[in-house]
């Protein structure tokens, strides 16, 4: 059995301000997020990780580096563009409230009809491409490293889309399942690199703090 431990990056300034970041937008990690990285590292410290992969985007890369230090993980960190956040085009850097008003139809698709969320209207990447690249990488990794524990540090939207693809669920299952909090841990397992099972979803028990809308997408 191969187990994947998916961690969303630490909370950033734009998370706090309720702005979309996307695949090209980025903002500074909050000082408090570094303490959260230590907490998730401590939570995972009893697990021997065979590999750690992260999105190359700074907020995820720095999160992965700090968790790896906490885990005393010696090999070099592996960065993969397949794990980068969904490209959001004109939405990147914009307040969620403004996007909801200025791109009403697309935003409604994002919230209520993900089958139609393909990003063309605002120059974004869209669901299909974002899910496919994530699923392709995770399945290949599972097949290349059976019987391994693998840590993946990525982004809220990309993790939600990609994990849903691994589970082979209808897109709107994402809304039923709920979002992913900054520095949360989600665990999936597979015995064949094709079929995946949730073992834990959006675990934040180790953070010991109240969660709000700024921490979840």
What was the pLDDT predicted at 213?
57
What was the pLDDT predicted at 183?
98
Query: In which order are the strands placed within the sheet that holds 51-54?
Result: 78-79, 51-54, 149-154, 2-8, 185-190, 196-203
**Domain membership flag for residue 98:** no
State which residues of the chain have pLDDT below 50. Answer: none
* 106-132 pLDDT per residue, tens: 999 999 999 999 999 999 999 999 999
CATH of the domain at 151: 3.40.50.1240
**Domain membership flag for residue 202:** yes
Instruction: Please give the residue range of the domain that contains residue 28.
Output: 2-86+129-215
74/20 Cα distance (integer angstroms) = 33
Q: Is 128 annotated as a binding residue?
A: no
Q: Is 23 annotated as a binding residue?
A: no
Please provide the distance, in angstroms rounded to a whole number, between the alpha carbons at the two ends of the chain: 29
CB-based contact 125:87 (threshold 8 Å): yes
What was the pLDDT predicted at 196?
99
Q: Is 14 annotated as a binding residue?
A: yes
Position of tokens 């230590």? Answer: 38
- Kindly list the catalytic residues: 9, 85
Q: Is 80 annotated as a binding residue?
A: no
What was the pLDDT predicted at 208?
85
73/83 Cα distance (integer angstroms) = 20
Q: How many domains does the chain have?
A: 1
What was the pLDDT predicted at 209?
72
């Amino acid at each position: 059995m191969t187990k994947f431990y998916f961690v969303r990056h630490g909370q950033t300034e734009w998370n706090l301000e309720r702005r979309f970041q996307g695949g090209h937008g980025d903002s500074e990690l909050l000082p408090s997020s570094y303490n959260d990285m230590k907490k998730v590292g401590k939570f995972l410290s009893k697990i021997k990780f065979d590999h750690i992969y992260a999105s190359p985007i700074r907020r995820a890369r720095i999160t992965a580096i700090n968790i790896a230090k906490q885990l005393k993980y010696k090999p070099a960190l592996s960065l993969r563009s397949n794990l980068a956040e969904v490209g959001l085009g004109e939405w990147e850097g914009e307040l969620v409230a403004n996007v909801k008003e200025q791109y009403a139809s697309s935003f409604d698709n994002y919230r209520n009809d993900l089958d139609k969320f393909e990003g063309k209207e605002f120059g974004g990447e869209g669901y299909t491409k974002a899910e496919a690249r994530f699923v392709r990488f995770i399945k290949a990794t599972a097949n290349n490293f059976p019987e391994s524990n693998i840590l993946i540090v990525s982004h809220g939207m990309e993790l939600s889309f990609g994990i849903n693809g691994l589970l082979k669920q209808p897109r709107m299952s994402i809304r039923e399942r709920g979002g992913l909090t900054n520095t949360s841990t989600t665990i999936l397992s597979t015995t064949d690199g094709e079929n995946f099972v949730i073992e834990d979803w959006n675990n934040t028990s180790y953070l010991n703090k109240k969660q709000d809308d700024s921490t979840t997408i």
